[in-house]
């Protein structure tokens, strides 16, 4: 039988309970796409904080004015030293 016919007849209740939270989050169609992508292998999802780090660092660099380490450290919940390292790292070639 053609997989397309099977996919058209899929129902959320066909998905094992373990995966129901994922289906609720991304929808049945996207869950099935993920199944096709992973093909039974484990897929690692990084923490959101890790994914957002580069965007956060860009904002810190844009907002840095040479005198606002403490303000930025409070805003981004980092130490002044961490802010300094981020800004210093942006000046490297």
Helical (H) or strand (E) element with 49? helix 48-63
Instruction: Please tell me the total count of domains within the chain.
Output: 2
23: tokens are 């289906």
- Whether residues 55 and 78 share a domain: the answer is yes
pLDDT tens across 14-51, in order?
Answer: 999 999 999 999 999 999 999 999 999 999 999 999 99
Q: What is the pLDDT of residue 93?
A: 43
CA angle (22, 24, 29) in 5-degree steps: 80
Let me know whether 52 and 22 are in one domain.
no
Structural domain harbouring 7: 3-38
Domain match, 32 and 52 both: no
- Report CA Rg, the chain: 22
Q: What are phi and psi of 66, to 5 degrees?
A: 95, -10
With 0.75 as the threshold, say if the pTM is over it. Answer: no
Q: Give the CATH number of the domain where residue 81 resides.
A: 1.10.10
pLDDT: which is higher, 92 or 34: 34
Q: How confident is the model at residue 1 (pLDDT cuts 50, 70, 90)?
A: low
Distant-in-sequence, close-in-space partners of 82: CB < 8 Å, separation ≥ 6:
73
Tokens describing residue 46: 């990084």
Same domain, 84 and 56: yes
Question: Is 43 a domain residue?
Answer: no
């Amino acid at each position: 039988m053609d997989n397309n016919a099977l996919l058209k007849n899929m129902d959320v209740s066909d998905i094992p309970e373990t995966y129901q939270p994922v289906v609720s989050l991304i929808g049945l169609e996207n869950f099935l796409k993920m199944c096709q992508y992973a093909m039974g292998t484990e897929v690692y999802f990084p923490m959101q904080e890790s994914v957002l780090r580069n965007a956060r660092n860009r904002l810190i660099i844009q907002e840095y004015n040479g005198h606002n380490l403490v303000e930025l450290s409070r805003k981004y919940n980092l130490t002044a030293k961490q802010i300094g390292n981020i800004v210093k790292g942006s000046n490297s070639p």
